[in-house]
Amino acid sequence: MTNAPEILVYPSLEELQAAAAERVAAAAERAMAERGRFLMAISGGSAPPGVFARLAREPRFAGMPWAATSLIWADERYVPHSDPESNYSQARRALLDHVRIPSDQVYPVATYLADPAEAAVLYGRLVQALLDAHGGQIDLALLGMGPAGHTASLFPGHPALEAPPGALAVAVEGSPKPPPRRVSLSAAALNRSAEAVFLVAGADKAAKARDALRGPFDPHSTPAQLIRPPQGHLVWMLDAAAAAEL
């Protein structure tokens, strides 16, 4: 499969979110047909809650294989799961409180450990085990991009960009965006996706969207460029404001 991105532009964030919910449902249907289970990596940010809300109600709710779905996080802020800043907390409020995903198929980062490095090692092992059980791939990774070009918690110029190829999760210390401590899936892990979908909205993302999609390959400046699944499909879904400079 080619790793050239499919670029889709929508007039508004709401239309982007509706289309993204349809894409998640389609990915789940494919995964169920192939192996009877669905593994999705999810992110924080402003766009995913609207996607989750659409999945958690009809007409999509009944068609989603909730009992066979497993969730991992593309990244997590190193705060308690109850903290409003937690990506797990966001997903719980928007999705998990409204659907019947078995609790033992929901895999948040162990932010209760004292050290993000320890949590990253444990999460990497967990992700590897899940990959082994899901045909070697994340069925769908739902990603975002910040105004500086970061995705997950892979920030421009940060040492986490130099993670060894075998590391599936990395500790992030000194994040340029608060909170400073995080755990992130590595680019190597995200590139194990059958489908990697960027949801990008807002005029503040337009310049970096242009750099990521039209500029030279410079992942230390625009880490989102690192996500190019060699055996998967790369999709960028943007609202009109974020696509204004393409």
Contact 110, 130 (CB under 8 A): no
Determine, yes or no, domain membership for 126.
Answer: yes
Domain limits at 54? 6-239
Determine, yes or no, domain membership for 210.
Answer: yes
Determine, yes or no, domain membership for 88.
Answer: yes
The pLDDT of residue 1: 39
- pTM of the predicted structure, to 2 decimals: 0.96
CA distance 39 to 152: 17
Number of domains in the chain: 1
Determine, yes or no, domain membership for 144.
Answer: yes
**Which string of b and e fits 39-60 if b means at least 16 CB within 10 Å?**
bbbbbbbebbbbbbebbbeeeb
pLDDT tens, residue by residue, 205-245: 999 999 999 999 999 999 999 999 999 999 999 999 999 99
Backbone φ and ψ of 235, nearest 5°: -130, 130
Which CATH number belongs to the domain containing residue 136 in this structure? 3.40.50.1360
Determine, yes or no, domain membership for 40.
Answer: yes
Residue 83 tokens read as 């903290």
The pLDDT of residue 165: 86
Determine, yes or no, domain membership for 125.
Answer: yes
Q: Give the distance from CA 200 to its chain's centroid.
A: 12
pLDDT tens, residue by residue, 22-79: 999 999 999 999 999 999 999 999 999 999 999 999 999 999 999 999 999 999 999 9
Of 222, 241, 231, whose CA–CA distance to 192 is shortest?
231
Contact 59, 92 (CB under 8 A): no
Determine, yes or no, domain membership for 179.
Answer: yes
Site of tokens 């998990």: 96
Of 246, 155, 169, 137, whose CA–CA distance to 200 is shortest?
246
The pLDDT of residue 75: 98
The amino acid present at 20, given as its one-letter code, is: A
Across the chain, mean pLDDT equals 96
pLDDT tens, residue by residue, 153-198: 999 999 999 999 899 999 999 999 999 999 999 999 999 999 999 9
Determine, yes or no, domain membership for 246.
Answer: no
